[in-house]
Amino acid sequence: MTGSCHRLTVQGKSVLLDCGMHQGGDVVKRLQEERFDFNPRDIDAVVLSHAHLDHSGLLPLLVAEGFGGPIYCTHATRNLLAIMLEDAASIYQRDLDNGNLRRRRAGRRQLSPRYTLDHVRQVLEQCQPLSYRQDETILSGLDLSLLDAGHILGSAVVVLTVAGEPPRTLVFSGDLGASQRVLMRPPEVPERADLVLMESTYGDRDHRSQEDTMTELEQIIAEARNDGVIMMPAFAVGRTQELLFHLGCLYHRGLLSGWQVFLDSPMALEVTRLYDQWLDAMDKDDQRVMAHFGARSLQEFLPVLSPTPDVEQSMRINRIERGAIIIAGSGMCNGGRIRHHLKHRLWQERNHLVFTGYQARGTLGRQIVDGASHIRMFGQRFVVRAQCHTLGGFSAHAGRNELLAWAKGIGGEPRFRLVHGEPEALESLAGALSEMGIPVSVAEPQVAFSPDFS
């Protein structure tokens, strides 16, 4: 499901489509175990679909192990990488230092870092940003164009054209956005393709409608109004900004009277400022809504928003007993300030925990969503008594029917290779595509695939 990374070999050259990190578990242990099944020095170029760490997180390791070629992405993705990779590297170094201190005390061998902040800076230097629909020859006989994937700021559908008689077109979907989402534009559909690598995150189900999801959120806010606090784990990129927009709409309808919203994530604050810089590239209808209320930024659109970049400001939130909506990372509760809020509030029935995004297997968020009665954090055991909600309509991924519609809209007679999904989602989507008469197969890790176009 995570760790997106596909090696394309064409005309003797090697191109990586994404270079993502697996999510879940301890980051130091995970990085110690990560191994490329190829020599990074043999890679000629990387094409990056978007900045989420499960698609970009191993780029510094790739550079550390010898990759020196270009990294193609959109301008906004390059801006986001500067925030996300530096944050991930800082967390990794901090956890590595703490772990090595424990190892020294126990007389155990020290671990060396697999990569450093210098490698992150090198990644950013190697980025060669492109605009959407800009044609670029990235290798001899290989042309690249990026389309808007509608997933997060800067996300792209990758279109690669291989020279020949006839030329062949490979499309890599990256992560496709849901058509009902705010701020993002609908995913663009390539004109044609011969082979499509398509994500399958929600290949087995559709999302709730935005209307139903917002109705449920309004009910949660009403239920907690006189008693508790609402905690929202949220991804710093995409989900946080959408939540701010939705809460802004509720504020202007008079439904947040008496509430204060805290954005308790330094990285999400930095990303939100970046989103504000790119508002002109986002959905025109949502731009008009904000302009109607005189808002030129997401913070102006939500006047009850209180950013809390400093640790002391974050800690003061714990003194509030009611009337607070806390948005904090990480989105799957594996790290970040949300864990400290869970520590103070998860065991109280009057509080609400609202999941607005996908919870991958192996994460703390997934444990709670799956109904765990107790969880462990900070070396302690906590009972789960807060009221837990999952709002599926906020997903950043296209649902099953949207994936099928996108696939059907691609011209030519493309074959599909399904990637980036859990087994049940992959198999379900493969079955649906097959019923539509579309040739399809399911990718397997470390298994090569050579399409036969004869």
Q: Within 57-162, where are the H helices? A: 59-64, 75-105, 117-126
Confidence category of residue 334, pLDDT binned at 50, 70, 90: confident
pLDDT digits (tens, 9 = 90+) for 262-314: 999 999 999 999 999 999 989 999 999 999 999 999 999 999 999 999 999 99
Is the CB of residue 240 less than 8 Å from the CB of residue 272?
A: yes
Beta bridge partners of 16: 7, 46
Alpha helix positions (H), 253-301: 266-277, 284-292, 298-301
What domains lie within the chain, and their CATH numbers?
6-205+396-442 (3.60.15.10), 210-394 (3.40.50.10890)
Sign of CA dihedral 134, 138, 143, 149: negative
- Per DSSP bridges, beta strands 142-148 and 195-199 are unpaired
The answer to whether the CB of 118 falls within 8 A of the CB of 11 is no
Q: Using one digit for the tens of pLDDT, what is the confidence trace for 210-243?
A: 899 999 999 999 999 878 899 999 989 999 999 9
Q: With a threshold of 0.85, does the pTM exceed it? A: yes
* DSSP annotation of 192: B
Task: Report residue 67 as tokens.
Answer: 């990759």
pLDDT of the residue at 395: 84
Please, what is the average pLDDT of the chain? 94
Average pLDDT over residues 63-84: 98
Residues forming a β-bridge with 354? 389
Query: Which tokens belong to 158?
Result: 């990758």
Interval 369-385: pLDDT, tens: 999 999 999 999 999 99
Distance (Å, whole) CA 390 – CA 358: 9
Please, which residues have CB within 8 angstroms of residue 370's CB and are 6 or more apart in sequence? none
